[in-house]
Amino acid sequence: MNLIGDAASAIKAVWGDLLTPPEPTVYGGGGGGSGGFEMSPSELQTVIGLWQDELQKVSDDGDKIEDILFELMPPGQDDVSSSYVDSGLESLQALKKQNESMKEYIVGYIAKLELAKTKTMATDAANTMRSS
């Protein structure tokens, strides 16, 4: 059993290939103005859907972390093997905590987006009533 290789495989299973930089994301939009932006309810729903997809990915990563924690055992009965695995478990526990924090953040962000969508729909409805 190659623990360094296994650890690298475990990290890659959770986070993907961290050595290859991602392609840059280009966002549209102009400069200047008041710094605000507007979205229609359908655009907000699209963004909410993207964050829900991200939440699923983070949850899946959490499941992988749990699986690795459950399966990680020392290759031998000696102190060095046990110490190495204990260090790995500490790292994985920190990763698990970070994953749970990320899930909390995403859930809260989705709730804020849902609220913004509700407010936008209410404002649009009120504006439509005034225009009639």
Question: pLDDT value at position 30?
Answer: 45
Q: Spell out the alpha helix ranges (H) of 16-78.
A: 41-71
Alpha-carbon radius of gyration of the chain? 22
pLDDT at 5: 57
Distance CA 104, CA 3 (A): 31
Structure confidence at residue 20 (pLDDT): 57
Q: Angle at which helices 3-15 and 79-131 pack, to 10 degrees?
A: 10
**Confidence at residue 31, expressed as pLDDT on a 0 to 100 scale:** 47
> What pTM does this model have?
0.65
Predicted confidence pLDDT, tens digits, the chain (132 residues): 444 555 566 666 666 665 555 555 444 444 445 555 677 888 889 999 999 999 999 999 999 999 999 998 888 889 888 888 899 999 999 999 999 999 999 999 999 999 989 988 888 778 888 876
Lookup: tokens for 57? 């990915």
CB atoms < 10 A from the CB of 66, how many?
13
